[in-house]
Structure 1
Amino acid sequence: MIDPSELSRRRFMQLGLNVGAAAGASMLLPGLVRPARAALPGISEEEAVIAFGHVGPITDEGWTWSHHQGLEAVKAAYPKAKYLEVESIPYSADATRTFRQFVSEGANILFSTSNYGDFFYDVANRAPDTAFLECDGRTLGDNLGWYYVAHWWPTFVVGVAAGALSKTGKLGYVASFPVPSVYSSTNAFLMGARTVNPNATLQAITINSWFDPQAATQAGTALIDNGCDFLFGIMDEAGYLQVAEQRGVWAAMWNTDIRRYGPNAYVSSIIVDFKQYYVEQVKARLEGKWAPAGTILKMGAGVDRDAWGAKVPADVAAKADAVRKDILDGKFNPFTGPIKDSTGAVRVKDGEAVDDAWLYNWDWSIEGVTGVGS
């Protein structure tokens, strides 16, 4: 079995991206559509077989639930199509078997809602008439595209609120694996907090899972015991939010609004919404206009912050929202150098602004972050 962190690192090496845009509408990265491959031929709605493969359970109220809502939106738009859906696909040869089964059942378009690397690509290479799309992927093929969300922008905004709310300046983070999505999340969060408290730090605990309520609960408890008074993370469930509620500290979440598990602790969440994207991709496939591309959904169009928690002071919300507005208006790019890594070395020069493609592939921790990697 290949560790998912290794899969992500492999993909990171397979495609170096160097283009991007400021926050706003969804972004199609130019130069990533392979012009040698014509669009796949159209099919009728009645002929369509649409498959979704998930990393977790659709009841997680997190990442997989959000993708399932996208599937439900496609069903509403195209009720005559046939739908296939499998939850909790492991990172192993079982994934390849599941994706092959989708193809054998006639899938015309197949979405992998997490990154499965070679387990996915091997199937795509053998099924040229099927459109394959991998969430958090980095590889393009004649019939293979990828998509993701620019979560680092709303994460920076929530970080601004964290900097204002934390009394100790010690922020805690429950991490899954040392992969780019975690680096960009931890880094953006601390950078936002440091606009309010330049001395803020972030301690992460990596639990090697996207969905493990027991491990997330234990990590949240350990972080608070170490003095953290604001918890954040990239989990698909509410484990550490419940700990924050019990211990009287703040917490921000990922994927969906799950404030009911910690109404006093809840600050916000990084909300993802794939519904429009999925409907658009299926529409293109049916009309014979689908071609492989890499797409990053932007803040305000696929990802954003949730409504502020009931206990968040109005002045804190206003401060963070002013930053959000400036980002959306193109007036402010918080990811501008100098940016130092955890060793103190300057990795982004003074005045240099990095873009979404760069942020999508971030693979090192900034100064002040511990527990993820160098």
Structure 2
Amino acid sequence: MISTKSLSRRGFLNMGAAAGASLILPKTGVIRPANAAGPLAPVVEADAHIAFGHTGPTSDEGWTWAHDQGMKAVEAAFPALRTSYVESIPYSADATRIFRQFVADDACMVFATSNYGDFLYDVAKRAPEVAFYECDGRNPMDNLGTYYVAHWYPSYVAGIAAGAMSTTGKLGYVASFPVPSVYSGTNAFLMGARTINPEATLQSIVINSWFDPQAATQAGVALIDAGCDVLFGIMDEAGYLQVAEERGAKAVMWNTDLRRYGPNAYISSIMVDFGPWYVEQVRRRLAGEWMPTYDLLPFGAGVDVDAWGDSVPADVAAKADAVKATILDGSFNPFMGEIKDSKGTIKVAAGQTMTEEELYHWNWSIEGVSGLDN
């Protein structure tokens, strides 16, 4: 069932180029297609329908909730347009039917807030007059752009605090699927932790879901039973934080501030804010300026670390904050080689720095991370 909200503001790094040009990712030379026919036609605000397709429930207090807040920012900025959304869209032919229904309901812009791949692409190809965006997408088209967050930077900063607060040197990670967002998160987190404890390791458990509180809770228990005393993950709820609270461990979360579920365990969270970016894309669509872009919301303006939890020592917070400042001012990039994979093979040579494109598509584990690679 489609939920509709009618008549209702909260920078980003544009990894593409201006309208009318090919989309070129910085530092890589990788070229993405642009709409050769030019921007899509403008839409009168009162006639506009903006649709959102979500992977989880809007009440998850996580990923989907964050996107729903972005939709509310759109409603506040453009009160005459109509919005609609469908939550918990399955990764099946039902997804295609839902996206088709958005088009049938005269949506002029559709946001898929997770990667739906071919379930979305066929719909986009058949509706060239509709602007589509796929979050964490990998296949931009003439009328379909992609967007995501550079979460590996705040994950690295949070890892510094985790490394300082772990007494066992064993970190745990509750993973959804073995996908690039999980590889970049686990790798960055352990790299940060190893600046404090070079012998630290990270064990992952894959639960094959983005939203499964029971499975996430069970994975948290298993990781702590295996000796992990700091947990991290990419889940859309607070399951493993509650486990950490009960077992005297610590945890770093994703998406929102969830500290009330584990005030003694909470270190921080990877915070996301899509509102300004959504408002800008809708503005462009209404104005007749929209063309597909490949946008990565950067550290400090779309994704960040949350305020530190009460149990984080002041000196630990200060050390992590100092590194954060150097990343933000561009004087330090944590993803410089030499970096080896989990099999000991050098993947990034000494002196080389991983590009944003490589970080976005990261699909291998570094030394010390287990549970993802075969």
Q: Could you tell me how far 1:28 is from its partner in structure 2?
A: 2.4
Matches within 5 A, 1:253-332: 253-332=253-332
Matches within 5 A, 1:69-84: 69-84=69-84
Per the alignment, in what secondary structure is the counterpart of residue 203 of structure 1?
strand
Per the alignment, in what secondary structure is the counterpart of residue 72 of structure 2?
helix
Q: Could you tell me how far 1:241 is from its partner in structure 2?
A: 0.1
1:182 alignment counterpart: 182
2:14 alignment counterpart: 27
Measure, in 1, the Cα distance between the counterparts of 2:35 and 2:73.
30
Per the alignment, in what secondary structure is the counterpart of residue 69 of structure 1?
helix
Per the alignment, in what secondary structure is the counterpart of residue 253 of structure 2?
strand
Once the two structures are superposed, residues 297-330 of structure 1 have per-residue CA deviations (whole angstroms, 9 ceiling, x without a partner) of: 0001110000000111000000000110000011
Measure, in 1, the Cα distance between the counterparts of 2:37 and 2:336.
37
Measure, in 2, the Cα distance between the counterparts of 1:350 and 1:110.
43
Measure, in 2, the Cα distance between the counterparts of 1:199 and 1:289.
51
Once the two structures are superposed, residues 131-158 of structure 1 have per-residue CA deviations (whole angstroms, 9 ceiling, x without a partner) of: 0000000111111101000000000000
Letter in 1 for 2:298: K
Measure, in 1, the Cα distance between the counterparts of 2:115 and 2:201.
30
Per the alignment, in what secondary structure is the counterpart of residue 190 of structure 2?
helix
Measure, in 1, the Cα distance between the counterparts of 2:37 and 2:116.
23
How big is the alpha-carbon RMSD for the aligned residues of Structure 1 and Structure 2?
Answer: 1.0
Q: Flag the 1:37–1:358 CA change in 2: closer, same or farther, 3 A.
A: farther
Structure 2: which 5+ residue stretches go unaligned? 1-10, 17-22, 25-31
Once the two structures are superposed, residues 76-114 of structure 1 have per-residue CA deviations (whole angstroms, 9 ceiling, x without a partner) of: 011111111100000000000000000000000000000
1:200 alignment counterpart: 200
Once the two structures are superposed, residues 283-310 of structure 1 have per-residue CA deviations (whole angstroms, 9 ceiling, x without a partner) of: 0000000001111000011100000001
Per the alignment, in what secondary structure is the counterpart of residue 50 of structure 2?
strand
Q: Which moved more, 1:33-42 or 1:66-75?
A: 33-42
2:115 alignment counterpart: 115
Measure, in 2, the Cα distance between the counterparts of 1:98 and 1:168.
47
Measure, in 2, the Cα distance between the counterparts of 1:340 and 1:204.
18
Measure, in 2, the Cα distance between the counterparts of 1:304 and 1:356.
16
Matches within 5 A, 1:87-126: 87-126=87-126
Measure, in 2, the Cα distance between the counterparts of 1:47 and 1:258.
38
2:238 alignment counterpart: 238
1:135 alignment counterpart: 135
Letter in 1 for 2:168: T
Percent of matched pairs sharing the same residue = 67
Which structure's relative contact order is higher, taking Cα pairs within 8 Å and 6+ residues apart? 1
2:29 alignment counterpart: none
Per the alignment, in what secondary structure is the counterpart of residue 46 of structure 1?
helix
Letter in 2 for 1:154: P
Letter in 2 for 1:169: G
Per the alignment, in what secondary structure is the counterpart of residue 46 of structure 2?
coil
Measure, in 2, the Cα distance between the counterparts of 1:127 and 1:97.
14
Per the alignment, in what secondary structure is the counterpart of residue 269 of structure 1?
strand
1:349 alignment counterpart: 349
Contact persistence 1:33–1:293 (CA under 8 A)? no
Q: Could you tell me how far 1:37 is from its partner in structure 2?
A: 3.1
1:18 alignment counterpart: none
Q: Flag the 1:281–1:25 CA change in 2: closer, same or farther, 3 A.
A: closer
Aligned positions, number: 351
Contact persistence 2:256–2:270 (CA under 8 A)? yes
Contact persistence 2:35–2:292 (CA under 8 A)? no
Q: Could you tell me how far 1:33 is from its partner in structure 2?
A: 5.3
Contact persistence 1:52–1:110 (CA under 8 A)? yes
Does 1:336 pair with 2:323?
no
Per the alignment, in what secondary structure is the counterpart of residue 59 of structure 1?
coil
Q: Flag the 1:25–1:90 CA change in 2: closer, same or farther, 3 A.
A: closer
Letter in 2 for 1:359: L
Once the two structures are superposed, residues 9-47 of structure 1 have per-residue CA deviations (whole angstroms, 9 ceiling, x without a partner) of: xxxxxxxxxxxxxxx952323423515130001011011
Q: Could you tell me how far 1:356 is from its partner in structure 2?
A: 1.2
Provide the TM-score with structure 1 as the length reference: 0.93
Contact persistence 2:12–2:295 (CA under 8 A)? no
Measure, in 2, the Cα distance between the counterparts of 1:37 and 1:210.
37
Provide the TM-score with structure 2 as the length reference: 0.93
Per the alignment, in what secondary structure is the counterpart of residue 45 of structure 2?
coil
